[in-house]
Amino acid sequence: MIPRFLSDFVGLIFPQVCLACEQALGRGEEYLCTNCRMQLPYTDYHLLSADTNPLSRRFWGRTPIRHTLSYLRFLRRGRVQHLLHQLKYRGQRDVGRVLGRWYGHELAQHNFQFDLIVPVPLHPSKLAKRGYNQSDPFAEGMAESLRIPWHAAGLRRIEHTDSQTRKNRLERWENVAGVFEVAALTLIQGKHILVVDDVLTTGATLEACAATLLAAGAAEVSVATIACADR
């Protein structure tokens, strides 16, 4: 064990910073400072019924989704955008893990139950370029708190797709339709699968994943993301 005085000295020379505001963390703080954690724009959508949850409406009449969940609201130039940038482009996988643990704990406290967590996969070429799938650490953190397994390769992306950023909903759906496949049928058949991703916008990618899982024999599919954006 590192002596406390040595740990404090190292902290003075190389202070840990909040991953949201990049200010030095205080004693006892981890990853996010207390102020940022209190100021995060939580959705609390897990407290709403499917009829009143605004995210659920994005899937109505298309693919049956049991629960549509998102931890935070995505606001441009806000803390959440900064956290996601750290996760996706700065190699800060701990962002995903800690948010996954916190959200998983919230869901467990309200008796949400799933059998398996599956992250939305990246195409192998993008995975090789980035080095990791940003949805994996979020899945890992949620699985830890919910005490259920997760599988990084539960779904495979079999086609490379263009960026979704500037596409409308129909274009996004056409861009991802038919690009996913289930890695092992026995892994998902008869189970309630929770599909996780970093951000929910129109829901086209998550819808395509859910449709693939249901067609392969999943009993139910729910979705959860770190953040949700206005369409």
User: How far apart are the C-alpha atoms of 98 and 104, rounded to whole Å?
Assistant: 10
Sign of the CA dihedral 151, 153, 157, 158? negative
Which ranges in 66-123 belong to alpha helices (H)? 79-89, 93-109
The domains of the chain, with CATH numbers, are 7-39 (no CATH), 40-228 (3.40.50.2020)
Per-residue burial over 97-127, b if 16 or more Cβ lie within 10 Å, else e, is bbbbbbbbebbeeeebebbbbbbbbbeeeee
pLDDT over 70, % of the chain = 85
Confidence of residue 134 (pLDDT cuts 50, 70, 90): very high
Condensed to tens digits (0 to 9), the pLDDT of residues 198-217 reads: 999 988 899 999 999 999 99
Contact 65, 213 (CB under 8 A): no
Condensed to tens digits (0 to 9), the pLDDT of residues 118-132 reads: 999 998 888 888 899
Phi then psi dihedrals of residue 10, to 5 deg = -60, -40
Condensed to tens digits (0 to 9), the pLDDT of residues 11-63 reads: 444 458 888 888 899 888 888 999 999 999 999 999 999 889 999 999 988 88
Average pLDDT over the chain, rounded to whole?
A: 87
